[in-house]
């Protein structure tokens, strides 16, 4: 199932839907993100299509989490994001990179050292600049473990889906996997079929809530 999720992610990256920056959704979203990242770093064999040959990935989730929790300076975070935008692979012909910004909850939890969430705003604005500057040569990718996390993020940044060309990708879970069992016990799935095929029912509930 890990390979299947990685292939689904790769299919979105080469798709023509117009929405290419990904937010993985579900209790196993972070596992899928880590798995895809490792596969890209290891060459992407049996996962990446030929269109993504030479794809690179850079992870900045830890730096973002440290920064918004008051453990780093604006200068340090700004330098890290500047380094991402100046990666050599983006200057090479055909070079492309995935920027893994990690767990979305780092950008929604009320632990920013600024009463107005200045650190989070800084990170989101700089990531938006990367998307605008590098277009189809750079993808943002992160994960949200719950619909509540994503809803909080949308309330903070109502235009983020448009700004990031964001596509939501529910993550399938493997039968009897730990996160699938937890999802069922916690009542996040509609039943056994959902537990086997994927924890996407809460995504449907979230979409219905937005339409109210």
Q: Which tokens sit at 40?
A: 């890209």
Considering only CA atoms, which of 167, 93, 86 is closest in space to residue 126? Answer: 86
Q: What is the pLDDT of residues 49-104, one digit of tens each?
A: 888 877 889 999 999 999 988 887 889 999 988 888 777 555 555 568 899 999 99
Q: Does any domain span residue 195?
A: no
Contact between 143 and 29 (Cβ < 8 Å): yes
Q: Does any domain span residue 202?
A: no
Q: Does any domain span residue 207?
A: no
Considering only CA atoms, which of 211, 202, 208 is closest in space to residue 171? Answer: 202
Q: Does any domain span residue 181?
A: no
Q: Does any domain span residue 28?
A: yes
* Domain assignment of residue 154, given as a range: 2-172
Looking at residue 37, which CATH number applies to its domain?
3.40.50.300
Neighbour tally for 13: CB within 10 Å: 21
Q: Does any domain span residue 11?
A: yes
- Count: domains in the chain: 1
Q: Which tokens sit at 36?
A: 């895809």
Task: Say which residue, 44 or 149, is predicted with more confidence.
Answer: 149
- Sign of the C-alpha dihedral, residues 77, 67, 107, 172? positive
Q: What is the pLDDT of residues 104-157, one digit of tens each?
A: 999 997 555 444 458 899 999 999 998 888 877 889 999 999 989 999 999 999
Q: Does any domain span residue 100?
A: yes
Provide the pLDDT for residue 88. Answer: 58
Q: Does any domain span residue 188?
A: no
Provide the pLDDT for residue 1. Answer: 60
């Amino acid at each position: 199932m890990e390979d299947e999720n990685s292939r689904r992610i790769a299919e979105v990256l080469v798709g023509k839907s117009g929405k290419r920056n990904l937010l993985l959704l579900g209790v196993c979203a972070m596992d899928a993100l880590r798995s895809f990242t490792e596969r890209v770093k290891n060459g992407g064999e049996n996962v990446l299509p030929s269109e993504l040959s030479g794809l690179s990935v850079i992870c900045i989730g830890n730096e973002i989490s440290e920064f918004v929790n008051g453990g780093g300076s604006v200068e340090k975070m700004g330098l890290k994001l500047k380094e991402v935008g100046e990666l050599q692979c983006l200057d090479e012909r055909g070079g492309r990179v995935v920027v893994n910004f990690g767990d979305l909850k780092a950008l929604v939890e009320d632990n920013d050292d600024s009463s107005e969430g200045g650190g989070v705003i800084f990170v989101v604005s700089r990531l938006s600049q990367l998307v605008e500057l590098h277009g189809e040569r750079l993808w943002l990718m992160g994960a949200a473990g719950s619909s509540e996390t994503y809803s909080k993020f949308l309330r903070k940044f109502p235009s983020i889906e448009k700004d990031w060309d964001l596509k939501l990708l529910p993550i399938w879970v493997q039968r009897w996997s730990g996160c699938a069992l937890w999802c069922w016990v916690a009542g996040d799935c509609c039943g056994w079929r959902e537990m086997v095929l994927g924890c996407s029912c809460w995504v449907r509930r979230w979409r219905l809530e937005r339409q109210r």
